[in-house]
């Protein structure tokens, strides 16, 4: 293997964290801010790009870091190396309710394509780059799915997704239509395209957007039930507006809702 070998354990149910066991001189790379805790003999370092050994010169590191900016991520990543003599542990937490998905990249031809914010941590040597969808329609209308991340290597990588995770194995001739925000990742043998929903009523009143993702080919797909963008939209919609009142507070339905909830105020 070219990547460091990692042992791990995932804790929790809806707010998960993953504990990585590091042998002496083993290293795990992670997104900045994802650390929960670590043992005292683990040394933390901030690096340009993904910290992989393939980006040794400054220009390559700068190019790798610049690609991460296109996905909305930080220029830097953090490495955690066991500098002690025995096994040590570092634990990384998911940023919002959901599940952590462990992936052995060697089982998927050394490459997985995932949503921009799905990556949590990985063995040192795993390369985190960007994957542009090549079709013009995906570029114009793909939204969250146009620029994706790619995880390459032969080691362990960990993705995070919101809500419940569904794993689907696509077979030849099968087509899966998915909300673009609900896709967590897929293998490189899966074809990704954007399709128009069609129909005036569907477009105006369907509530699912104008486009959806179409996945086909032979391979594996990971789907999340609660994309963070959807969760954030609901929180913003329910937050109090100016003046301390929520959107429905002055309406008849808002008053009825408070009565049903046991609050008699109008």
The 3-class SS string of the chain reads CCCCCCEEEEECCCECEEEEEECCCCEEEECCCCEEEECCCEEEEEEECCCCCCCCCHHHHHHHHHHHHHCCCCCEEEEEEECCCCCEEEEEECCCCEEEEEEEHHHHCCEEEECCCCEEEEECCCEEEEEECCCHHHHHHCHHHCEEEEEECCCEEEEEEECCEEEEEECCCCEEEECHHHEEEEECCEEEEEEECCCHHHHHHCCCCCEEEEEEECEEEEEECCCHHHHHHHHHHHCCCCCCCCCCCCCHHHHHHHHHCCCCCC
pLDDT tens digits for 37-65? 999 999 999 887 666 655 555 555 555 55
Domains delineated in the chain:
7-163 (3.60.160.10), 239-266 (no CATH)
Neighbours of 153 (CB within 10 A): 25
Per-residue pLDDT at 175 exceeds 60? yes
Per-residue pLDDT at 170 exceeds 90? yes
Cα–Cα distance for residue pair 7/179, rounded to 1 Å: 34
- Averaged pLDDT for residues 149-169: 93
pLDDT at 246: 52
Per-residue pLDDT at 69 exceeds 80? no
pLDDT at 123: 94
**pLDDT band of 239, cuts 50, 70, 90:** confident
* Cβ 166 vs Cβ 223: under 8 Å: yes
* Cβ 100 vs Cβ 18: under 8 Å: yes
pTM, two decimal places? 0.77
pLDDT tens digits for 71-113? 555 667 899 999 999 999 999 998 888 899 999 999 999 999 9
Per-residue pLDDT at 164 exceeds 70? yes
**pLDDT band of 250, cuts 50, 70, 90:** very low
Return all residues near 7 (Cβ < 8 A) that are at least 6 apart.
Answer: 20, 21
- Averaged pLDDT for residues 224-250: 70
Check residues 123 and 48 and name the one with the higher pLDDT.
Answer: 123
């Amino acid at each position: 293997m070219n990547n460091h070998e990692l042992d791990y354990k995932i804790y929790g149910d809806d707010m998960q964290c993953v504990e990585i066991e590091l042998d002496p001189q083993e290293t795990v790379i992670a997104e900045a801010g994802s650390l929960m805790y670590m043992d005292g003999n683990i040394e933390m370092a901030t690096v340009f790009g993904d910290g992989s050994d393939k980006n040794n010169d400054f220009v390559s590191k700068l190019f790798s870091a610049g690609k991460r900016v296109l996905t909305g991520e930080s220029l830097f990543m953090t490495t955690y190396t066991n500098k002690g003599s025995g096994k040590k542990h570092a634990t990384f937490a998911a940023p919002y309710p959901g599940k952590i998905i462990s992936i052995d990249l060697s089982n998927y031809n050394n490459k997985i394509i995932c949503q921009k914010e799905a990556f949590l941590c990985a063995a040192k040597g795993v390369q985190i780059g960007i994957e542009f969808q090549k079709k013009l329609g995906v570029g114009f209308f793909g939204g969250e799915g146009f620029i994706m991340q790619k995880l390459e290597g032969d080691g362990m990588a960990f993705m995070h997704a919101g809500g419940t995770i569904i794993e689907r194995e696509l077979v030849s001739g099968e087509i899966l239509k998915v909300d673009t925000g609900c896709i967590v990742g897929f293998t490189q043998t899966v074809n990704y395209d954007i399709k128009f929903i069609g129909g005036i009523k569907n477009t105006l009143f369907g509530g699912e957007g104008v486009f959806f993702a179409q996945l086909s080919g032979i391979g594996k797909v990971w789907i999340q039930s609660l994309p963070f963008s959807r969760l954030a939209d609901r929180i913003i919609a329910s937050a109090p507006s100016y003046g301390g009142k929520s959107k429905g507070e002055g309406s008849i339905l808002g008053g009825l809702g408070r009565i049903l909830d046991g609050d008699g105020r109008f």
